[in-house]
Chains A and B, each alone.
Chain A
């Protein structure tokens, strides 16, 4: 049987298809103003027998495909176990929210925490800050890693932090140091969530922000726990949804 999962996130839509316990197809694309059309396009010619939807657009898909839905939190809990069979602690930093999840030994959801209703300290925050400093996303992380020290950024609110960054650069602060400060701000916010759920062992780091080396390095340092990033951290939720189709 080919089981599919589709994760309609705020910034990207992801599709995963599993067959006999192996990931045989994964695709992703940018979410448009019409997430349903985007999802349909992404599914295109993909072959599968069953599908489960997750992500913020899950109920939208459900209305059209009449498929089961699961929350992102359960999807990440399942997906993480697919890539790392013993993991107990998950951090997902997506486009618009951040989740910290702890599992029991059997992989059941034990506790989770999410950021508040705004996009503070999420992928979207990093994007806006990179733009404010004139970096691409790739340059942004490298610049931060190369900085000798960080300029402290007090806000993880995208709007406040942007004006903070503008005034810091206007005062002549080094771009790299501001970049490191921004990365530290996002990590300290995630650490707050992770400490609340107190999950043991290595931290399974998923979501688009897991591609960012600087966030990973800082996270490892702050938590004193190893951080594991799967080959494609964005696909974890879709894989989790696919697993629950079986």
Chain B
């Protein structure tokens, strides 16, 4: 990696903390990803992206900013990238997947806050996330109570925090609220970028983001094969890079990888032996570098074949219809797309359990591991009914609740191994 010290200093990063973070990240990446056997060639691109995640990609953002483009950071899949692209902006997902500077986060947040929120604050207070520091606008959203209230505390810490309200019920009123929020967001983006969004520009944005989603959907489809042509860890990584990379280049790289994987499937080449126990992971999002659970699962004689998660299927399964000619038509299409997302903040949320069943069947998974972050009430509460629904449909389910620390790795491993042993008997 080139020397980016000057750029990092200009962004105001704490160089010492940042170095420490990068060195942990680098060694974890080596241990977890590079040590995997028989990885597809196409993963080299993603290895490169990860090695330059705080380097070259940030350089690209800085160059774009110098040309007047705006960087919009966000924490949630309800923030439409289509709109950001329509003002020629760059959408980035913000760092929230590492146990970094939780002491700092706990100075301003209760200890009983989920690791995702704590991580976002740990990065901000520790000044180690170049994406956050490069963002011209940070978009918060009222999903869970933890995030909603913590944005009040984040507001004075960032340049321009914009909070988007979200409905909690799938009613006509809920949909109307979402549509008006997207209308308000358009106005915000237009004022920040100094550009009007026209139907043509929005259609272009929709086209780019749909292509990106279609590439990831193609990857998901390939994972129905046995032997699995790609590990769950690598597939998760691609879903994580989804939030950082240039969308067009990302789409191209995923499609190229898919060509290779389709060839592997034809030849019967896999990263695990044929017949390896297949598991679906469902639940909370896993942001970079939260690889703890997938690593424990895939080192226990099982392969993850899908992620029912915002960083995964839930974030990518719906496309935005590019229908109509007016802004109003397109706004309706956009609202319909995002209103379909079945996040656990919605009540009731029956489609999620249904879809987990559907995915399990389609991917030929033998069981589901439901992953909740500790203190994430929406997913923890929903995990009980989801488990019952799955078990009643004869889909073995293991519910796990954990955080970003490594202290429970041994206990988790015991549970995961026992669960896999249960599946192997079937």
Q: State which residues 102-146 of A face B: CB under 8 Å.
A: 108-112, 114, 117
CB distance from A124 to the nearest CB of B (A): 14
On chain B, the residues within 8 Å of A73 by CB distance are 414-415, 417-418, 421
Hey, what's the 0/1 contact readout for B399-426 against A, CB within 8 Å counting as 1?
Answer: 0000000011011001101100110010
A70, A74, A97, A109: the one within 8 Å of B411 (CB): A97
Q: SS class of chain B's interface: helix, strand, loop or mixed?
A: helix
CA distance A22 to B408 in the complex (A): 37
On chain A, the residues within 8 Å of B408 by CB distance are 117
CA distance A163 to B41 in the complex (A): 58
CB distance from A173 to the nearest CB of B (A): 31
Q: Nearest chain-B residue to A70 (Cβ)?
A: B421
Q: Nearest chain-B residue to A114 (Cβ)?
A: B415
On chain B, the residues within 8 Å of A110 by CB distance are 422
CA distance A224 to B326 in the complex (A): 68
Q: Nearest chain-B residue to A117 (Cβ)?
A: B408
Query: Contact residue range for chain B?
Result: 10 to 19
On chain B, the residues within 8 Å of A114 by CB distance are 411, 414-415
CA distance A70 to B408 in the complex (A): 19
Whether B417 pairs with A71 at a CB distance below 8 angstroms is yes
Whether B411 pairs with A71 at a CB distance below 8 angstroms is no
On chain A, the residues within 8 Å of B407 by CB distance are 117
Q: Nearest chain-B residue to A69 (Cβ)?
A: B417
Q: Nearest chain-A residue to B299 (Cβ)?
A: A59
Whether A117 pairs with B414 at a CB distance below 8 angstroms is no
On chain B, the residues within 8 Å of A74 by CB distance are 417-418, 421-422
CA distance A24 to B407 in the complex (A): 38
Q: Nearest chain-A residue to B407 (Cβ)?
A: A117
Q: Nearest chain-B residue to A97 (Cβ)?
A: B411
A73-B418, A108-B422, A114-B411 known, 16 other contacts, Cβ within 8 Å: A56-B414, A71-B414, A71-B415, A71-B418, A71-B421, A72-B418, A73-B415, A73-B421, A74-B418, A74-B421, A97-B411, A108-B425, A110-B422, A111-B391, A114-B414, A117-B411
B residues engaging A (CB < 8 A)? Answer: 391, 407-408, 410-411, 414-415, 417-418, 421-422, 425
30 pairs from A and B in contact (CB 8 Å cutoff)? A56-B410, A56-B414, A69-B417, A70-B417, A71-B415, A71-B417, A71-B418, A71-B421, A72-B414, A72-B418, A73-B414, A73-B415, A73-B418, A73-B421, A74-B418, A74-B421, A74-B422, A108-B422, A108-B425, A109-B418, A109-B421, A109-B422, A109-B425, A110-B422, A111-B391, A112-B415, A112-B418, A117-B407, A117-B408, A117-B411
